[in-house]
Structure 1
Amino acid sequence: MQVIIIGSGSVGSSIARELLSHGHKVTIIDEKPEVIGRSPDIKNAHWLIGDACELSVLKQSHPETCDVIVAATGDDKSNLVVSLMARSEFGVPRTVARVNNPKNEWLFDDSWGVDVAVSTPRLMTALVEEAVEVGDVVRLLTLQTGGAMLVEYTVPMDHPIIGHTVDNVQWPAETTLTAILRDGTPITPTGDDVIEGEDELFFITTPEGEEDIRLLFS
């Protein structure tokens, strides 16, 4: 897979490091020349120095041939501009954008060319809530394309859903149970799987489905 990453800060570098370790081709665009070589473990990435918000700079990375662009800078305006240019000017199939300020999250949608918006503060909050609030529906990630989202629910030990098979539960419309995490082991759910206490249930759903999940487990 060919990936272009905008920004080589801690977030961009971490993403590049993981992708390179998985054998993907990575191009990193950053304004600061001194960042090249700062992290030896991402030296195999192709580097391009310049402001990716400038069309001429972004064009040098050949985004028309890439599979994904990741806008990972610490500036929300830059991430939005890059995402919009990637989609409108180069037809990049998939864009992932970092949201730094949760107040700007509403902007990161398809109208700005963003497929997946990742809000670090929201994700950290969700992970904290997921760790301490058994029995509450927690939103982990919003996928702007189609308005889908990933939510998680940890089943309390005394919940009446325990003992029922997946097929016996009337899940809300526009909601798919995609995974069960049990004792740290991920399970691909089948209709015959029996739900147990402290199971972590992961759903892909819509905003309406999220509310229906809350009603189901309330």
Structure 2
Amino acid sequence: MRVTIAGAGAVGRSIARELLDNGHEVMLIERNLAHIDGESVPAAEWVNADACELASLEEAGVQNCDVVIAATGDDKVNLVVSLLAKTEFAVHRVVARVNDPRNEWLYTEAWGVDVAVSTPRMLAALVEEAVSVGDLVRLMTFRQGQANLVEVTLPPDTPLAGRAVKSVVLPRDAALVTVIRGGRVIVPQADDALEPGDELFFVCVADVEDEIRSALTS
């Protein structure tokens, strides 16, 4: 997969290293010449250009990329990059960094954003996930709020102890995708028994989260 990252600060470079380690091709676009440091991510392609300029993106070959990540520290820039990537170059997947949570409402399909990543929101969710037992915690939102990844850790007194996965009646538009038990990652099968301490991960629409809570406590 070929990925373009707009913004080669600490965040952009870290993302680039992870993607390169996973075997992807990465191009970093950075307009500030002082931030161009090829030695920090030597396997990446570096381009000194303004990612908000259509001509610069075309010259860099963004049209040949599968994914664009807008990772600058400026929300206005990230939105412009996202819009250009989606509308002018028809990039299949656009991921944008949210710097100020107050601007998160702008990161929608109207601005070309497929996935908005808000660091403050993710950190808060991870803290909740670490300390909450028995409560449903929203970890991540997909596709402009159309679906969420939510997690619940079954408490010691869970009524689901020993019951099969198939006995948990979930609402429409919800699916149990993973169970983490100790150091194991389990793809749940219908006859698998649930245990206290299991971490259950669901993908669902927001409207049915209360129904999932009810299904886990009955």
TM value normalised by structure 1:
0.94
| Alignment partner, residue 12 of structure 1 | 12
**In the alignment, residue 213 of structure 1 is paired with which amino acid?**
I
SS of the residue aligned with 1:105?
helix
Q: Which amino acid aligns with 1:154?
A: T
| C-alpha distance in structure 1 between counterparts of 2:189 and 2:60, whole Å | 43
Confirm or deny: 8 A CA contact 2:168 2:216 kept in the other structure. Answer: no
| Residues 103 and 59 of structure 1, relative CA distance in 2, 3 Å threshold | same
Q: Shift of the alpha carbon at 1:144?
A: 2.0
| 1:39 shift after superposition | 5.1
CA distance in 1, matches of 2:10, 2:212: 35
Question: Given that residues 108 and 144 in structure 1 are in contact (C-alpha distance below 8 angstroms), is that contact kept between their aligned partners in structure 2?
Answer: no
Q: In structure 1, what is the Cα distance between the partners aligned to 2:179 and 2:100?
A: 31
CA distance change for structure 1 residues 67 and 38 in 2, over 3 Å: closer, same or farther?
Answer: closer
CA distance in 2, matches of 1:75, 1:124: 19
Q: How far apart are 1:60 and its partner, in Å?
A: 2.0
The residue number in structure 2 matching 1:25 is 25
2:57 is paired with a residue whose SS is: helix
1:68 corresponds to: 67
**RMSD, aligned CA:** 1.5
1:131-170 correspondence runs (5 A): 131-144=130-143, 147-170=146-169
Structure 2 CA distance for aligned equivalents of residues 167 and 14 of structure 1: 41
Q: 1:25 to 1:137 in 2, by over 3 A?
A: same
Over residues 79-118 of structure 1, what are the superposed CA-to-partner deviations in whole Å (9 max), with x where a residue is unaligned? Answer: 1111111111000000111111112212112111111111
* Structure 1 counterpart SS, 2:28: strand
Separation in 2, partners of 1:196, 1:100: 39
Superposed, 1:43-192 pairs within 5 Å as 43-144=42-143, 147-192=146-191
Judged with a 3 Å threshold, the aligned counterparts in structure 2 of structure 1 residues 72 and 188 are, in CA distance, closer, same or farther, namely same
How many equivalent pairs are there? 217
* 124-133 vs 73-82, which moves further: 73-82
**Using the alignment, how far apart are the partners of 2:111 and 2:31 within structure 1?**
22
Post-superposition offset of 1:48 = 0.9
The 3 A distance-change label for structure 1 pair 76 and 215 is farther
Structure 2 runs not aligned, ≥5 long: none
Once the two structures are superposed, residues 49-92 of structure 1 have per-residue CA deviations (whole angstroms, 9 ceiling, x without a partner) of 12211111222221211111111111111111111111110000
AA aligned to 2:153 is T
How far apart are 1:23 and its partner, in Å? 1.6
- Gapped runs of 5+ residues in structure 1? none
* Aligned equivalents of 2:67, 2:9: Cα separation in 1: 18
3-state DSSP class of the match of 1:90? coil
TM-score, length-normalised on structure 2?
Answer: 0.94
* Matched residue type, 2:50: D
CA–CA distance in 1 between the matches of 2:214 and 2:39? 48
2:91, 2:79 → 1: CA distance?
A: 14
Further displaced range: 113-122 or 204-213: 204-213
Report the 3-state secondary structure (helix = DSSP H, G, I; strand = E; otherwise coil) of the residue aligned with 1:34.
Answer: helix
